[in-house]
Amino acid sequence: MRLILLFLATLLVMPVQAQYWTHYENDAFGYEIDIPPGYENYMDSADGNGAVFMLVGMQQELTVWGEALEADSGDFTDAAQRALDSDIADGWAITYQVATPDWASWSGVKDGQVLYRRMIILCDRQSHASFRSVYPSQDLPGMHPVLEGLVRSFVPTAC
């Protein structure tokens, strides 16, 4: 009898634990990304370039957006460096950084928060997309699989 009750209790708990990633696609710029379980769309940008997602009940924010490369410097590497420099100017102490001609990633810490940012060049080679995840440093151990899923799914579309 105990075995049957344990089995029934397990069935009741499974739907709560079986949360699935959702999907966000931006047709205006041509990129997509999977959104982790529990994150809800908090706000879409007015110009249609992206959205902000918040983890319900937590202080975790995920922002995704696309933008054109600057006309005077249509180089993705320069755009990534300017974005990194901006984060440094905002007080983020950079702890990790890697860049290629097609993508760049970095992370940093500030005031008990962790930042992870990734940029990718888009199919037209005239624009790029970014995602930025900011979360409390105590959440760091559980964020590794979340960041892996974000990086894996963050790709240009219709190339």
Contacts of 79 (CB under 8 A, 6+ apart): 69, 70, 73, 119, 128
What tens digit of pLDDT does each residue of 40-85 get? Answer: 988 888 888 999 999 988 899 999 999 999 866 768 999 999 999 9
User: Which ranges of the chain have pLDDT less than 70?
Assistant: 1-18, 71-72, 74
Structural domains in the chain? 21-156 (3.40.1000.10)
What is the pTM assigned to this prediction?
0.84
Cα separation values, 137 from 60, 107, 113, 133, Å: 10, 12, 5, 12
